[in-house]
Amino acid sequence: MNNLQTIIEDLKHSYDKNKIQQAAKIIKSGDVVAFPTETVYGLGADALNPHAVKKIFAVKGRPSDNPLILHVSNIKQIYPLVSYFPEEYKQLMTALWPGPLTLLFKKSEKVPTITTGGLNTVAIRIPNNPIALKLIEEAQTPIAAPSANLSGKPSATNAKRVYEDFQGKIPLILDGGKTKIGVESTVLNIVIDPPTILRPGGITYETLKQYLPNITILKSVDPKIRTSPTSPGLKYKHYSPNTRLILVHGDKATQETFINREIIRLDKAKIAVLCLHNEHVHKRAESVILVGEDKKEIQKNLFECLRKLDDEDCTMAYVESVEEEKEGLAIMNRLYKASYEIVYLDS
Ligand code: TXA
Ligand code: MG
């Protein structure tokens, strides 16, 4: 599968139907194509073709027991994929789809077990991106797609980063520009009661609670009841830059003082700071990367900034923290997993 020529089709400014049809043909033929969604880029293949799905796991280096999300373009497409359709959640689907929400269903025979990592549930979402939706329609099949990054690396939010990871390994990348949301979809288990967030993401807990008053968050990702914050349900290494990243947990002023003191203490080391508040306070750092000034912006730029760390020639990096509410829950979830070490200044 190596040393293919990887073509990047530029769809940033013009929506070219022919190029999407060409991508759909590749999917139908059982191969893999990278495409944009509103969250992050996906590495897509025909979800119902086990050989095609196997290629996703191979090029990504993904453990075979980690299930994939199926992307469909309308609710009707879901019925054949599930053994039971929970009509009571249809209002939620209609309200929040297309969008960054993935729901778990009981799977039907039609979905190969390789796609669901051997589980009897299947994760499905309708992405909110015109290129993704057109690609699914043209391929006439649900598209299984994990985030388009090598296993363990930060997800890719633009075509350049997809190319960095999969150059020579996949035939085509559809370039739809920078993704709008920046973190992956929220994964919600509606097969169990109460409905439970398995992965915080693009749709916040606060938004979901308006539709599902009894919703809960999986213990290992819930900041209120998490018992060992250094390993929030970590099964695999995730989102990690090569640069050693230290997450600093505490209120804004304490974080800034701590980081600045460390930079002075570690005098000779080249230290980068991923800044979530005010970039001007870290004057002595080798490199200061402002991720964003509000949570939506931080969420949008987070993965790209984690990748930028590896473009810099720094020994290590500090990253600040934000409160774990609204978008902050997904942001901190990714940072806990990305970091090598966490420093708690508030406990
Ligand atoms: O925004 C997204 O969700 C992106 C875009 C491309 O749609 N996709 C994505 O896929 O993030 P991936 O494979 O990187 O993450 C899928 C997550 C994993 O944590 C996986 O374990 C979980 O969804 N998942 C998938 N199927 C599941 C299932 N049947 N039961 C429990 N978790 C499941
Ligand atoms: Mg992923």
Statement: residue 347 has pLDDT above 80: no
> What local confidence, expressed as pLDDT, does residue 272 receive?
95
Determine the atom of ligand 1 nearest the C-alpha atom of 123.
Answer: 26
> What local confidence, expressed as pLDDT, does residue 268 receive?
82
Phi, psi at residue 190, to the nearest 5°? -105, 10
> What local confidence, expressed as pLDDT, does residue 229 receive?
47
Better pLDDT: 229 or 319 = 319
**Percentage of residues in the chain with pLDDT exceeding 90?**
86
Residue 285, ligand 1, Cβ within 6 A: no
The lowest-confidence range among 149-158, 184-193, 270-279 is 270-279
> What local confidence, expressed as pLDDT, does residue 282 receive?
83
**Ligand nearest, relative to CA of residue 64:** 1
Residue 333, ligand 1, Cβ within 6 A: no
Residue 246, ligand 1, Cβ within 6 A: no
d(CA 188, CA 201): 10
d(CA 191, CA 104): 6
pLDDT in tens, 117-127: 999 999 999 99
> What local confidence, expressed as pLDDT, does residue 235 receive?
41
Confidence class for position 2, pLDDT limits 50, 70, 90: low
pLDDT in tens, 275-327: 998 777 888 899 999 999 999 999 999 999 999 999 998 999 999 999 999 99
Statement: residue 233 has pLDDT above 60: no
- CA neighbor of 31 nearest in space, from 3, 10, 1, 68: 1
Statement: residue 7 has pLDDT above 50: yes
Instruction: Compute the distance from residue 159 Cα to the ligand 1 centre, in Å.
Output: 20
- The strand pair at 341-344 and 216-217 is best described as unpaired
Average pLDDT in the chain: 93
Determine the atom of ligand 1 nearest the C-alpha atom of 42.
Answer: 6
> What local confidence, expressed as pLDDT, does residue 279 receive?
78
Instruction: Compute the distance from residue 347 Cα to the ligand 1 centre, in Å.
Output: 33
Residue 104, ligand 1, Cβ within 6 A: yes
Q: For helices 327-338 and 295-311, what crossing angle results, to 10°?
A: 20
Which protein residue has the closest C-alpha to ligand 1 atom 6? 42
Determine the atom of ligand 1 nearest the C-alpha atom of 43.
Answer: 6
Confidence class for position 269, pLDDT limits 50, 70, 90: confident
Instruction: Compute the distance from residue 68 Cα to the ligand 2 centre, in Å.
Output: 9
Determine the atom of ligand 1 nearest the C-alpha atom of 149.
Answer: 14
> What local confidence, expressed as pLDDT, does residue 313 receive?
85
The three-state secondary structure class of 279 is helix
Cβ atoms within 10 Å of 61's Cβ, excluding its own: 12
Phi, psi at residue 158, to the nearest 5°? -150, 165
Q: Which of 68, 124, 173, when mutated, tests ligand 1's pocket best, judged by the most ligand atoms within 8 Å of its CB?
A: 68
Residue 37, ligand 1, Cβ within 6 A: yes
The lowest-confidence range among 16-25, 173-182, 224-233 is 224-233
d(CA 49, CA 55): 10
Statement: residue 27 has pLDDT above 70: yes
Q: What angle do CA 184, 187, 188 make, to 5 degrees?
A: 155
Which protein residue has the closest C-alpha to ligand 1 atom 22? 67
Two tokens, residue 188: 């919600």
Statement: residue 228 has pLDDT above 50: no
Instruction: Compute the distance from residue 185 Cα to the ligand 2 centre, in Å.
Output: 10
> What local confidence, expressed as pLDDT, does residue 221 receive?
85
